[in-house]
Amino acid sequence: MSGKPKKSGIDWVDPDDAPEWTEDMFERAEFAVGGKVLRPATGTVRGPGRPRAEKPKMQVSVRLDQDVLAGLRNTGPGWQNRMNEALREWLSRSQATLKR
């Protein structure tokens, strides 16, 4: 028989294996009664995470030639940031040319 086997479902986790909640976890947790939130959560157990960017990047869909995309990816991790910088440089040069 060919093809992928079907997934057997979610692995069961024994609730007794869950870590004990600390006072900090209780203080930061959402408090709700009957589906109504009385106190929203004030954070996560994992920590504060990455700070919000002043100017967050936007996700877009762009169609590129296969060889261009392969060349960018072959430059290694960070290729999207380098592509962003190259486009920024090009935009700066072309705006300077248009102002003349």
- Identity of residue 20: E
In this prediction the pTM is 0.48
Whether 58 is in a domain gets the answer no
Across the chain, mean pLDDT equals: 85
Whether 1 is in a domain gets the answer no
Q: What is the mean pLDDT of residues 6-30?
A: 81
Instruction: Supply the pLDDT for residue 12.
Output: 76
Whether 11 is in a domain gets the answer no
Q: What is the mean pLDDT of residues 36-63?
A: 83
Tell me how many domains the chain contains: 1
Instruction: Give the structural domain span for 27.
Output: 17-45+63-99
Q: What is the mean pLDDT of residues 59-84?
A: 95
Whether 53 is in a domain gets the answer no
**Residue 1 — pLDDT band, cuts 50, 70, 90?**
low
Whether 91 is in a domain gets the answer yes
